[in-house]
């Protein structure tokens, strides 16, 4: 009877220790190959498990991609009362095909959710202290297009044109009516209006601002 009681107590403590892990892993990919890896556990359990490793969490996980390890470039601990999460960031090769995953702190099975860049969702059940199966990464990454990188700069430039024009007009004493006229004459195009006002500034600096044929002079300069 005594031996049976000891066995029950040991098994119960062992199960409770495993339940305390409360492991969840979410791996999210972006089109350019960047990823965010969230590894969550019970905060008290995680604190105790990490003490021997001096909070070096990156070395507790392995991302094995096409036969080579891809190490995260940063790790951030997000504390919480019921769950603590290590958020890791990094980048996959654009031609990556397969991934195998390992988390070295845990013993119990846990779910791993993969959110692909193409919108597909995959859930793997990892057998605790074990490698995952082969996870397909192919077909979701692509090189950023030139237009995607240039377009934000173009938009910012167009938004700044009216401000630059107003500052220049004030600096050189150009009347506000010139600026308004510029937008009207150029169908409210910021780039064309900016060019129109700059031409008028040139005329003013050259002493042409009192010309009766000012409009025709501007037209000839623009053309």
DSSP 95: T
How confident is the model at residue 143, as a pLDDT? 83
pLDDT tops 60 at residue 193: no
Helix (H) or strand (E) holding 114: strand 110-115
Over residues 52-66, the mean pLDDT reads 96
Enumerate residues 6+ apart whose C-beta is below 8 A from 143: 32, 94
* CA gap 15, 108 in Å, rounded: 9
* CA gap 118, 96 in Å, rounded: 14
Enumerate residues 6+ apart whose C-beta is below 8 A from 190: 158, 159, 161, 162
- Tens of pLDDT along 88-118? 999 999 999 999 999 999 999 999 999 999 9
**Which CATH architecture fits 21-136?**
Sandwich (2.60)
Query: Given CA atoms 169, 173, 174, 177 in this order, what sign does their dihedral have?
Result: positive
- Tens of pLDDT along 118-160? 999 999 999 999 999 999 999 999 987 666 566 677 677 667 7
Q: Are 35 and 89 in contact (CB under 8 A)?
A: yes
Enumerate residues 6+ apart whose C-beta is below 8 A from 171: none
What's the Cα-to-Cα distance from 186 to each of 74, 197, 202, rounded to whole Å? 50, 11, 18
Over residues 188-209, the mean pLDDT reads 58
- Tens of pLDDT along 15-41? 444 468 999 999 999 999 999 999 999
* CA gap 208, 220 in Å, rounded: 13
How confident is the model at residue 35, as a pLDDT? 98
Nearest to 120 by CA among 142, 100, 134, 140: 140
* CA gap 139, 120 in Å, rounded: 11
Q: Is 182 helix (H, G, I), strand (E, B) or coil?
A: helix
Work out the pLDDT band at 75, boundaries 50, 70, 90. Answer: very high
pLDDT tops 60 at residue 174: no
Lowest mean pLDDT among 57-61, 76-80, 189-193: 189-193
pLDDT tops 80 at residue 5: no
Question: In the chain, where are the structural domains located?
Answer: 21-136, 146-222
């Amino acid at each position: 009877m005594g031996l049976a009681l000891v066995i029950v107590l040991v098994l119960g403590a062992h199960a409770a220790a495993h339940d305390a892990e409360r492991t969840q892993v979410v791996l999210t990919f972006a089109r350019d190959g960047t990823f965010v890896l969230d590894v969550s556990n019970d905060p008290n359990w995680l604190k105790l498990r990490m003490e021997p490793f001096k909070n070096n969490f990156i070395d507790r996980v392995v991302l094995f991609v096409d036969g080579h390890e891809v190490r995260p470039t940063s790790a951030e601990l997000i504390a919480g009362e019921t769950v603590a999460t290590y958020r890791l960031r990094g980048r996959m090769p654009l031609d990556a095909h397969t991934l195998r995953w390992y988390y070295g702190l845990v013993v119990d099975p846990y779910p791993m959710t993969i959110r692909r860049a193409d919108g597909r969702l995959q859930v793997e059940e990892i057998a605790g202290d074990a490698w995952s199966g082969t996870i397909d990464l192919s077909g979701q990454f692509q090189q950023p297009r030139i237009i995607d990188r240039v377009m934000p700069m173009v938009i910012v430039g167009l938004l700044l044109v009216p401000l630059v024009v107003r500052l220049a007009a004030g600096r050189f004493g150009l009347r506000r009516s010139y600026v308004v006229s510029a937008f009207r004459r150029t169908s409210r195009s910021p780039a064309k209006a900016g060019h129109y006002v700059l031409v008028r500034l040139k005329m003013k600096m050259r002493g042409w601002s009192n010309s009766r044929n000012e409009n025709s002079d501007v037209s000839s300069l623009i053309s």
